[in-house]
Amino acid sequence: MRAFSYDRPDSVDAALRGVANQPGTTTEAAVKFVAGGTNLLDLMKADVMRPDRLVDISRLNLDKIEEVDGGGLRLGALARNSDTAYDARVQARYPMLSKAILAGASAQLRNMATNGGNLLQRTRCYYFYDTGTPCNKREPGTGCGALTGVNRIHAILGASDHCIAVHPSDMCVALAALEAIVRVTGPKGERTIPFADFHRLPGDTPHIDSTLAADELITAIDLPAKGFAEHSTYLKVRDRASYAFALVSVAAALELDGQTIRTARLALGGVAHKPWRDPAAEAELAGKPASLENFREASRVLLRDAKGQSHNAFKIGLAERAIVRALAEAAGVEHP
Ligand code: SF4
C-alpha cells in the first residue's frame, strides 16, 4: 500500500475545500473522500487505486433518514446500508430497496458501508483487481483482459470494445427502478442528478464510472413518494446464497389496476456497466394484463440487443427467466 495523507474535516464546507480544484470526475481524482472504506481500502491495498490523500467524511452530519415534502424519503449519504435497509419507513414504503440492500455483501460490510459509498463502489472484474493484467478501467489504453479472458460475470448489455465490466451494486438496481435522485454539493452549490444519469456506460472512457465531479460530494439520495410497496420485488441470482455478486438481478415494480398493469418499472443488475433500464420494455407492459406471456414478451424486448461473450452467453437466458419470475412475484401471479 502506498503512502497517503489523511484529513478528517468536521463540516461539509471543510470537506469540499479538501477536494477543491480537482478537474474531471471523482473516479479520476487524486484526493478521495472515504467513509465506510469497504471498497476503496481494498482497492488501495491491491494498488488498484492510488489516491494521494483521503478526506474522511465519516463524522459529517449526513447520516439521517428523513421525510421530504411530497411524501418521499431522504436517505443521508452517510447512513449505513444496514440502518437504511432496516429503517421501518424504508421497509414499509420501499420494500424492494430494503430487500436489495440486504441481498448485498455481508452483515458486517453492510454495517460499515454507507449509501453514498454504495453508489461509488467499483466493478469486481477480476482483471481490474489484478495489476499484472491489462485493464482499460484501471490503466486507460492498456487493453481489456476480460475480452479474451474469463468473462463469466461480465456484461451482456451496453458494453464496448474497451470494457465489458458490470456495476456490482444491488442497492443501485432498486434505486434505478424507483427513479431516485442523487443530491450532491460542490463549489458551485447544490445540484441533483437523476439516478439514470449518475452511472455511465463504458464507451471509450471506461475509467470513468459516474458523472460526479471530482470536487463534489454526495449528500443524500431522495426517494420519490411512489415506492411500489404493494407490487414489487428484488430478485438476485448468484453462484451461492450469500456474499456473492449478482450474475443477474432484477428490480421489478408494478402499479396494478385489478390485473391490468398501469405502470411498470424494471431494472437489471449484473448485466451492464450501470443498472440497466429500458423504457421500451416497460412500455411493452403498460395497459396489458399481468400475465406470464406478457412478462416473457417484455423480457424479450429488454434483452433484444443482449450480446454474450465467450463465457457468459448463459446470462441472456438467465436474465429472461429472472425478469419473468420477478414480474410474476411482484404481480402475485403464479409462476411454475
Ligand atoms: Fe478492465 Fe473493464 Fe476489461 Fe474488466 S472488463 S479488464 S474492468 S477494461
Residue 279, in any domain of the structure: yes
What's the pLDDT at 7?
97
Give me 78's grid cell: 452517510
User: What is the number of other CB atoms lying within 10 angstroms of the CB of residue 140?
Assistant: 14
pLDDT, tens digit (0-9, with 9 covering 90-100), for 163-194? 999 999 999 999 999 999 999 999 999 999 99
C-alpha closest to that of 54 among 67, 63, 44: 44
Q: Which three cell numbers stand for residue 240?
A: 451461492
Q: 16-34 pLDDT, tens per residue?
A: 999 999 999 998 899 999 9
Q: What is the pLDDT of residue 139?
A: 97
pLDDT at 179: 98
Report the chain's C-alpha Rg in angstroms. 20
Mean pLDDT computed over 41-50: 97
In a domain, 139, yes or no: no
DSSP H/E element including 56: strand 53-56
**CATH of residue 288:** 3.30.390.50
CA 276 to centroid of ligand 1, rounded, Å? 18
Could you read off the pLDDT of 64-92 as tens digits, one per residue? 999 999 999 999 999 999 999 999 999 99
Angle CA 244–247–248, to nearest 5: 120
Residues found in the chain: 336
Q: Tens digits of per-residue pLDDT, 211-263?
A: 999 999 999 999 999 999 999 999 999 999 999 999 999 999 999 999 999 99
Asked whether the beta carbons of 325 and 235 are under 8 A apart, the reply is yes
How far lies 172's CA from each of 118, 127, 295, in Å?
Answer: 8, 23, 23
- pLDDT at position 336 over 90: no
Ligand 1 atom nearest 202 alpha carbon: 2
The per-residue pLDDT for 128 is: 98
pLDDT at 1: 81
Distance 303 CA to ligand 1 centre (A): 22
Unique residue bearing C-alpha cell 434505478: 176
127 neighbors 232 (Cβ within 8 angstroms): no
Per the listing, cell 437489471 goes with: 268
Q: What is the pLDDT of residue 114?
A: 98
Asked, for residue 145, whether it belongs to a domain, the answer is no
Q: Is residue 312 part of a domain?
A: yes
Q: How confident is the model at residue 103 (pLDDT cuts 50, 70, 90)?
A: very high
Per-residue pLDDT at 28: 87
- Count of domains forming the chain: 1
pTM of the model: 0.98
CA distances from 192 to 5, 58, 62 (A): 30, 22, 16
Tell me the β-bridge partners of 232: 253
- Segment 282-289 shows an average pLDDT of 98
The β-bridge partners of 133 are: none
The overall average pLDDT reported for the chain is 97
Cα of 323 from ligand 1 centre, angstroms: 26
Long-range CB pairs of 264-267, under 8 A, 24+ apart, other chains included: 264/298, 264/327, 265/177, 265/178, 265/179, 265/228, 266/177, 266/298, 266/302, 266/323, 266/326, 266/327, 267/173, 267/174, 267/176, 267/177
> What is the extent of the structural domain holding 297?
232-331
79 lines ligand 1 (CB under 6 A): no
218 within some domain = no
- Let me know if residue 257 belongs to a domain: yes
From start to end of 158-288, where are the E strands? 181-186, 189-194, 217-223, 232-237, 248-257, 260-269
Cα 41 to ligand 1 centre (Å):
20
Domain membership of residue 274 (yes or no) is yes
In a domain, 113, yes or no: no
Would you state the pLDDT for residue 27?
87
194 and 268 in contact (C-beta within 8 Å)?
A: no
The residue to mutate among 124, 130, 136, having the most atoms of ligand 1 within 8 angstroms of its beta carbon, is: 136
Q: Is 209 in the pocket of ligand 1 (CB under 6 A)?
A: no
